[in-house]
Structure 1
């Protein structure tokens, strides 16, 4: 059976959802997000301070210190996300910078390995040559982590999740299909050897609040889609039942050398 490709698009109409329409539930989330972000940011300050102290007190280079440093790194990314969320409540535009893709993948490897079941293999392959995209680094790391977590939940024990980034130049037809302008992009591909998705599930995979999991929120792929659009990129999904899924995140290509010279 051939794999079914689809370009993820933001839904134009609200879908009915339990406890109210999707639009109503999203509006409720938006109204409470500012207060929740402020309170959670305060808690992150406590977590950051505690992990900094713990990392200093633990033995240098020990496994315990490495875990404390990883927790500190995750909390720092959480604080960055809270700053982005608070900026959005004040209608501040995102600041786009050149992002070193190799550094992003290194961080992703550390975070994803702790979040994915230990009996699922993870291979994160950096580009051979220096590669940079334009965007928000923390947002990109969280988008890729979201894709890895989704892949991990769909992959059985012994299965494989692979992540790679490469530069690509979209043809006119490819760019039109993705809703992008022609030009250079970095393609981040997250592939899994899991159960794959049916045609119906694939068509609705990025709808806000749509989920096939009993305890899921349905906001994972939706948030990745929103991130890609905000950065001038796109998200494409390809899946086939029994043969796994590939999620490809496209972001505009940047040039590290030009950025460094301008700094």
Structure 2
């Protein structure tokens, strides 16, 4: 409470004047010897409350002088006749001062309270602003960290692919050498059917080996959700043997120890291979001067208490162990080994995501991962994955018998002339007349010219119109709305498998095969499509 100094003084004088006039007005009705200060108390209180300490003191001083001069005998004088008058005047002065101080302290308390409320409001507003800013920063940091985690995870996969590149090139050079040599020998020995048959078998075996490497490499590089399928642990490790040999170098002695009769797993084989290759790479890095890397697999049934401690379901499991004779880890490093982004390697030599990714895959598969290590002893990483149950595997699907091929006409579309010619010749040998086209537009032109194929076999990745677009365009022609179709693809891309799966689920007359495709597999699918067409 308070007014400007001049306004406060004017208010004080005004209130004093009203109080003095009121006292004079009450003089006729008040006893001549009593109540000299009656009307001055409200004036002093009001002046102090509204105008502050100074105007309150001014009003009090004027009130004391007026009451003393006008209303204490002898009137019109500042002389005091009796001790009682002196006591009354002192009492009035004391009460006035006490009232002024009390009102002043009250005003100060009210002002402080108002200031505190305003300060609290400002602080609350600032707190809300900072909280909003902090939440936004946290969202940005979390999003950035998640993006970095995803990028680094893929970078690590690509780095591992880079390490595999030399070995893959070696394998493919061997495949190409075998194919080239076989083709050359077939040309020279064309007059000997037995020799040609033997050489052709060798070429086919070389191409199957190349296809195996390609599929493994594509599965290794693929991102996305887990694709569960039955996995034979012994066959998987056998397929990785050459990858380990090419990736780890000649200074590492690799030992594969696989127990007999391992149960089947239900997991994502590509991700499991990724985990094992990454663990083997980590083991190699821990043995810069060379050493022994042992990769083993065995069947194991844990006690209920041990399984519960590891978070595993009861029942048999397959235990993979990757053991090295390297430098080992201290207790402090071992405690942090599974943390994302933690790495003891030099900057740029590792992302710190290998073990974290491995643990994530294993736990997502219902398994458990353990690490044992000590300085100078080496490191052993143990992965336990639950064996597949009969219910999970389902009944074994028996292959459908191949009906005798009928002379059904095939429209074959591929923009690679070599692939197109080989497939056409192979289908022709199996009794299928083939009409060839080098592009989607060329195939549509043949249909428009009156060609009436019973099947469409087309490459999926072609310049201009791809295989899916050609399929849709061909099916748009009224005569070919139910044209059985096989798409051939050489890619495994993120999201592409999902698109293919959705198309095949909705279209019983569509098949999708991954290159390279053998003629037996292709004719089998054509026969199945023919059966499906008759059934529908």
What TM-score do you get using the length of structure 1 for normalisation? Answer: 0.71
State the distance in 1 between where 2:341 and 2:253 align: 28
Q: Which residue of 2 aligns with 1:103?
A: 235
Higher helix share: 2
For residues 74-105 of structure 1, what are the alpha-carbon distances to aligned partners after superposition, in whole Å with 9 as ceiling and x for unaligned? 5533422454x2x44xxxxx332221011111
For residues 98-150 of structure 1, what are the alpha-carbon distances to aligned partners after superposition, in whole Å with 9 as ceiling and x for unaligned? 21011111122111111112111000122222432221111111111111111
State the distance in 1 between where 2:372 and 2:386 align: 21
Residues 225 and 235, structure 1, Cα contact 8 Å, conserved in 2 = yes
Q: How has the CA–CA distance of structure 1 residues 159 and 31 changed in structure 2, closer, same or farther, with 3 Å as cutoff?
A: closer
What does 1:214-253 correspond to in 2, within 5 Å?
A: 214=346, 215-253=349-387
Residues 338 and 355, structure 2, Cα contact 8 Å, conserved in 1 = yes
Q: Which residue of 2 aligns with 1:44?
A: none
Structure 2 segments unaligned to the other structure (5+ residues): 1-139, 156-168, 182-202, 398-536
Q: Which residue of 2 aligns with 1:76?
A: 215
The answer to whether residue 334 in structure 2 is matched with residue 202 in structure 1 is yes
Q: Which residue of 2 aligns with 1:125?
A: 257
What does 1:1-263 correspond to in 2, within 5 Å?
A: 24-30=144-150, 57-59=176-178, 73=212, 75-83=214-222, 85=223, 87-88=224-225, 94-214=226-346, 215-254=349-388, 259=393, 261-263=395-397
Structure 1 segments unaligned to the other structure (5+ residues): 1-19, 37-49, 89-93
Residues 98 and 134, structure 1, Cα contact 8 Å, conserved in 2 = yes
How many aligned residue pairs are there?
Answer: 221
Residues 257 and 295, structure 2, Cα contact 8 Å, conserved in 1 = yes
Helix, strand or coil for the counterpart of 1:195?
coil
Q: How has the CA–CA distance of structure 1 residues 200 and 81 changed in structure 2, closer, same or farther, with 3 Å as cutoff?
A: same
State the distance in 1 between where 2:274 and 2:208 align: 18
Residues 312 and 386, structure 2, Cα contact 8 Å, conserved in 1 = no
CA positional deviation for 1:59: 3.1
For residues 234-254 of structure 1, what are the alpha-carbon distances to aligned partners after superposition, in whole Å with 9 as ceiling and x for unaligned? 111011111011101111113
Q: Which residue of 2 aligns with 1:39?
A: none
Q: How has the CA–CA distance of structure 1 residues 203 and 129 changed in structure 2, closer, same or farther, with 3 Å as cutoff?
A: same
Q: How has the CA–CA distance of structure 1 residues 51 and 244 changed in structure 2, closer, same or farther, with 3 Å as cutoff?
A: closer
RMSD: 3.7
CA positional deviation for 1:228: 0.4
CA positional deviation for 1:170: 1.5
Helix, strand or coil for the counterpart of 1:242?
coil
CA positional deviation for 1:262: 2.6
Q: Once superposed, which parts of structure 1, at least 4 consecutive aligned residues long, lie more than 6 Å away?
A: 20-23, 31-34, 50-53, 65-72
State the distance in 1 between where 2:249 and 2:263 align: 29
Using CA pairs under 8 Å that are at least 6 residues apart, name the structure with larger relative contact order, 1 or 2: 1
State the distance in 2 between where 1:220 and 1:67 align: 33
Higher strand share: 1
State the distance in 2 between where 1:58 and 1:78 align: 20
Structure number with larger C-alpha Rg: 2
Q: Which residue of 1 aligns with 2:505?
A: none
Q: How has the CA–CA distance of structure 1 residues 53 and 174 changed in structure 2, closer, same or farther, with 3 Å as cutoff?
A: closer
Residues 253 and 293, structure 2, Cα contact 8 Å, conserved in 1 = yes
What TM-score do you get using the length of structure 2 for normalisation? Answer: 0.37
Q: How has the CA–CA distance of structure 1 residues 102 and 209 changed in structure 2, closer, same or farther, with 3 Å as cutoff?
A: same
